[in-house]
Amino acid sequence: MKKLISILLITILFACEGPQGAPGPPGADGGLIVSSAFEIEINFNETNNYEYFESYGFDVYPFDVVMVYILWDRDENIWRALPQTIFFQEGSLIYNFDFTQEDVRFFLDGNIDFSLLGGEWTQNQVFRVVVIPADNVDSVNLNDYNNVIETLNIKAFNSHNLNTF
């Protein structure tokens, strides 16, 4: 009797089939879903409380990951993932960000008096924002800008309006 019940349970479990789910979003070559990205130049100052909010201009889904990179060396075209910390005698400066599904916030953090910083630290700071679809997050080294751009096949960055406070 136990064998009959076991066989019956196994048959029922493997024979059941539910309705087919909705089709997923279309992928790009190699199965990657296309990422959205943009570039923005920001001036941080006391007037904007050393922060700036920017709407994406495209959809960001709940499980997507947003990464922000700062142009660290213009001559060598070096990009670094945020956050980035710089140490001064007076304290530390941290370029940082956070995000929601609607916007991304760029801000200065740290224990230094931001008004002591020269313009090279606060003015004309260039950032690139990359929204990485949840399906692709595990396949990308998020801290390596070049790996992100290459893996996600990003060819260009849309330019958002410059922040000229």
Q: Omega before 62 cis (within 30°)?
A: no
CA distance 113 to 18: 61
User: For residue 44, is it within any domain?
Assistant: no
Nearest residue to 102 via CA among 63, 52, 54: 54
Residue 9 binned pLDDT confidence (cut-offs 50, 70, 90): very low
The boundaries of the domain holding residue 136 are: 50-165
Point out the least confidently predicted range of 14-28, 66-80, 105-119: 14-28
3-state secondary structure 76-103: CCEEEECCEEEEECCEEEEEEEEECCCE
User: For residue 115, is it within any domain?
Assistant: yes
Q: What is the mean pLDDT of the segment spanning 95-116?
A: 97
Q: Quick check: pTM over 0.85?
A: no
CA atoms within 13 A on the CB side of 113: 3
User: For residue 163, is it within any domain?
Assistant: yes
Q: Could you give the number of structural domains in the chain?
A: 1
Asked if the model's pLDDT at residue 7 lies above 80, the reply is: no
User: For residue 100, is it within any domain?
Assistant: yes
Q: What is the mean pLDDT of the segment spanning 51-62?
A: 93
User: For residue 122, is it within any domain?
Assistant: yes
Asked if the model's pLDDT at residue 6 lies above 90, the reply is: no
User: For residue 18, is it within any domain?
Assistant: no
Please state, rounded to an integer, the average pLDDT across all residues of the chain. 83
User: For residue 2, is it within any domain?
Assistant: no
User: For residue 5, is it within any domain?
Assistant: no
Residue with the bigger pLDDT between 35 and 52: it is 52
